[in-house]
């Protein structure tokens, strides 16, 4: 099922924390201009997904940061509390790179002299698995309590939420990181970040 028609933002709702962050240009979703989040609401305004495979194409620009949230829900402002963020970041100074399950399992590329962030597990890499200016295939699959993330067909995260998972205890400042159900959101991170999205499809897993 296609979630983005390449013409307008039908089926999506921006919280407009910063107006005008999400625009459609040349069949692509452009994300630029500040912190805001674009939530998929569907035709009835109440889209929810439990088990699914989400596939999309993403392109970063130098120094940009974005992300794709799953099992989240609409909120007016701030970083979404509910669900998990799948990071989009090739060269932003945040060492948590594309393919990370943000704050939980981090694909970590540290700059010289940069300290490891607190919270979560780290998989150290020399560079992000994505490259600025090049489209990459992003796949996010959730089956029950199992989430896998892949970049260009290569798995970066394979995480099973443990029995009795308590994000308040396990994670730093992210109490809502639990798999249950919810929708998707695309992140506008900061005024200096510009990212692009297209070909956004979801396959529901019964």
Q: How much is the average pLDDT of 57-85?
A: 98
pLDDT (0 to 100) of residue 10: 98
pLDDT above 90 (res 44): yes
pLDDT class for 197, splitting at 50, 70, 90? very high
Q: How far apart are CA 40 and CA 47, in angstroms?
A: 7
pLDDT (0 to 100) of residue 119: 86
Grouping H, G, I as helix, E, B as strand and the rest as coil, residue 168 is: helix
pLDDT above 90 (res 159): yes
pLDDT above 90 (res 34): yes
Q: How far apart are CA 71 and CA 35, in angstroms?
A: 20
Judge whether 154 and 148 are in contact, CB under 8 Å. no
Which domains, and CATH codes, for the chain?
A: 12-204 (2.60.120.560)
pLDDT (0 to 100) of residue 173: 85
pLDDT (0 to 100) of residue 196: 99
pLDDT tens digits, one per residue of 113-153: 999 998 899 999 999 999 999 999 999 999 999 999 999 99
Instruction: Pick the closest to residue 19 from 38, 4, 5 (CA basis).
Output: 38
pLDDT (0 to 100) of residue 153: 99
Q: What angle do CA 191, 194, 197 make, to 5 degrees?
A: 140
Judge whether 17 and 35 are in contact, CB under 8 Å. yes
Average pLDDT of the chain? 97
pLDDT above 90 (res 172): no
Q: How far is CA 67 from CA 97, 98, 107, 115, in A?
A: 10, 8, 14, 22
């Amino acid at each position: 099922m296609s979630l983005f028609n390449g013409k307008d933002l039908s089926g999506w709702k921006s919280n407009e924390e910063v107006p005008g962050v999400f625009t459609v240009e040349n069949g692509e979703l452009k994300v630029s201009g500040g912190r805001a989040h674009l939530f998929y609401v569907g035709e009835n305004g109440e889209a929810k997904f439990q088990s699914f495979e989400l596939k999309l194409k993403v392109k970063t620009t130098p120094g940009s940061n974005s992300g794709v949230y799953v099992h989240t829900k609409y909120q007016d402002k701030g970083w979404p509390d509910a669900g998990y963020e799948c990071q989009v970041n090739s060269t932003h100074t945040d060492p948590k790179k594309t393919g990370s399950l943000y704050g939980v399992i981090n694909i970590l590329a540290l700059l010289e002299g940069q300290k490891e962030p607190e919270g979560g597990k780290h998989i150290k890499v020399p560079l992000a698995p994505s490259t600025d200016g090049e489209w990459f295939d992003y796949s996010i699959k959730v089956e029950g309590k199992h989430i896998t993330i892949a970049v260009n067909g290569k798995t970066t995260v394979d995480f099973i939420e443990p029995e009795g998972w308590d994000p308040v205890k396990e994670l730093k400042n992210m109490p809502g990181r639990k798999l249950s159900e919810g929708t998707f959101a695309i992140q506008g991170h900061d005024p200096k970040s510009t990212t692009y999205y297209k070909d956004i499809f979801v396959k529901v897993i019964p």
